[in-house]
Amino acid sequence: MYNNFDIYKDSDQTPNIAYHLIDKHANSHIKDNIALSWISNDNHKEVYSFADLSELSNKFANMMISMGVEKGDVIVLFIENLPELYVGFLGGLKTGAIVTYISNNIDINNIKKRLISLKAKIILTTPRLRNKLNEIIFELFELQHIVVVNRSNLDDGLLDIADLDYYHEMDKNSSLFDINKTFKEDISLIYYTSTENKHLPISISHENLLNYYLVSNYVIENASNEAYFSNVSPEGINFINFNICYPWINASNNVVFERLDDIGNILTIIEKEKVNILCIDESSIMNSGQTKFYQSYVNKSNNIRLFKLLLLNFSADLFLNNNNNNNYIFTDCNLGIVLAFNKSGIDIKTGYLGLKMIGQELQNSSDTNNKFGELEIDISKSLIFHSYYREDENCNMDVNIRNYSLGLKGYVDCKGNIYLQI
């Protein structure tokens, strides 16, 4: 595991998360370790090493540059959960562009609104989803290219003459690429979250993504060459940190399924793949009722670590039913701020959480001398989400949300280490 201070040292070189996730490993002795095991709907398996993903994302970055993409342009991933989704995410960030994912489950009018609002320059998609764009394509004035990932020759007839074939274009480009200069405050991706029946775009800076590095560096400890699985769907705001950042920060094998609805098949395969790190999204309606099946898999071995993503108010009661030291709890607050801890700490002190996350304001409401008091996090000052974007104006919105109390006792020491009394 990398020392937790490496992120500060390395981020002076580049805050680009693509480097920390993939290239750092690809340039080391573990370059040939498995980074991605992708399972298709018919159980076909594709395996990619860290070196593979580094080269593919470099090719994608070169492809984007050749298509006129510049720093700050928007690349849209309108694609199923395929390996190309991950290559596009990493390669897009390497160019300095802003990456966004659009779910195929939303209606065409909302897709149009987002594409126009984002001023999308490139869309990466598949033949099936490309057809959904036909009725709005002439209203996307900023759009320059549609790149189609055609994995089946049966879909050849569906491609528009103006579309670009992903594999053909990738073959034209070099596997060498120097990551474009980005700064911590530069926007890396834009995600959409729902609130009061509205879909608000949230911009996330490169520094925000480094926060995920810092948390996962403590939680997924010594996970190099271990197998990781998460059932967080691409539509979820937490997909980036739980399905991309968390497994690859410490060089785990990320086991990914094209679809997540066949729980029986998933359990069979993750057992075959010897998955020993699970992240289960209990907050999703789509995943409702699945937790017990994953729990049965976890109960088979003491060597399996289980992570749960919750949408509950933080309460000490959460600890009562989680006595297994391998079980961690995640909580996702109103603006997606992620906290992670385990019941026994990391053999340092009881309740050890890790270093204060970058840019996060921690307040001790009852004592300013770092004695145990009620620990609070001011969400409005958190850098997890950089700012809101208005769709109708070129300005930022102020976010005013009251402090969110954990309801637990804890303190922060002079070095920024966080401890909870649990």
Instruction: Give pLDDT, residue 239.
Output: 81
Instruction: Give pLDDT, residue 327.
Output: 38
Tokens of 57: 């994302």
* Eight-state DSSP code of residue 250: T
Which residues of the chain register pLDDT less than 50? 1-9, 195-196, 311-410, 418, 420-422
DSSP output for 118-144: HT--EEEE-HHHHHHTTTTGGG-TT--
9: enclosing H helix or E strand: helix 6-13
Instruction: Give pLDDT, residue 336.
Output: 32
Do 102 and 114 meet the contact criterion of CB atoms below 8 Å apart?
yes
Instruction: Give pLDDT, residue 214.
Output: 57
Residue 149's SS3 state is coil
Do 31 and 84 meet the contact criterion of CB atoms below 8 Å apart?
no
Do 342 and 327 meet the contact criterion of CB atoms below 8 Å apart?
yes
Tokens of 327: 């079980």
User: How open is the CA angle 116-122-128, to the nearest 5 degrees?
Assistant: 90
Residue 395 lies in a domain: no
Instruction: Give pLDDT, residue 42.
Output: 93
User: How open is the CA angle 279-283-286, to the nearest 5 degrees?
Assistant: 90
CA distance 32 to 133: 38
Residue 100 lies in a domain: yes
What's 29's domain CATH number?
A: 3.40.50.12780
Q: Kindly list the strands in the beta sheet with 187-195, ordered across the sheet, starting from the edge strand earlier in the chain.
A: 164-165, 145-148, 122-125, 74-78, 98-101, 187-195, 198-205, 387-389, 396-397
For residue 147, give its domain range.
Answer: 6-311
Residue 313's SS3 state is coil
Residue 333 lies in a domain: no
Going from the C-alpha of 197 to that of each of 134, 193, 200, 288, the distances in angstroms are 26, 10, 10, 22
**Cross-strand pairs, 189:** 99, 204
CA distance 166 to 170: 6
Quickly tell me which residue has 């480097």 as its tokens.
19
DSSP output for 25-50: HHTSTTTTSEEEEEE-TT--EEEEEH
CA distance 364 to 383: 19
260: enclosing H helix or E strand: none
Instruction: Give pLDDT, residue 267.
Output: 92
51: enclosing H helix or E strand: helix 50-66
- Domain total in the chain: 1
Residue 361 lies in a domain: no
DSSP output for 66-106: HTT--TT-EEEEE--SSHHHHHHHHHHHHTT-EEEE--TTS
Residue 225 lies in a domain: yes
Instruction: Give pLDDT, residue 413.
Output: 57
- Cβ neighbours around 137 below 10 Å, total: 15
Give the pTM.
0.76
Instruction: Give pLDDT, residue 163.
Output: 94
Residue 189 lies in a domain: yes
Instruction: Give pLDDT, residue 79.
Output: 95
Structural Rg of the chain based on CA atoms: 21
> How far, in whole angstroms, is CA 352 from its chain's centroid?
24
Tokens of 395: 């300005």
Residue 305's SS3 state is strand
Residue 127 lies in a domain: yes
Instruction: Give pLDDT, residue 397.
Output: 31
11: enclosing H helix or E strand: helix 6-13
Residue 207 lies in a domain: yes
Q: Could you report the per-residue pLDDT of 47-100, keeping only the tens digit for each?
A: 999 999 999 999 999 999 999 999 999 999 999 999 999 999 999 999 999 999
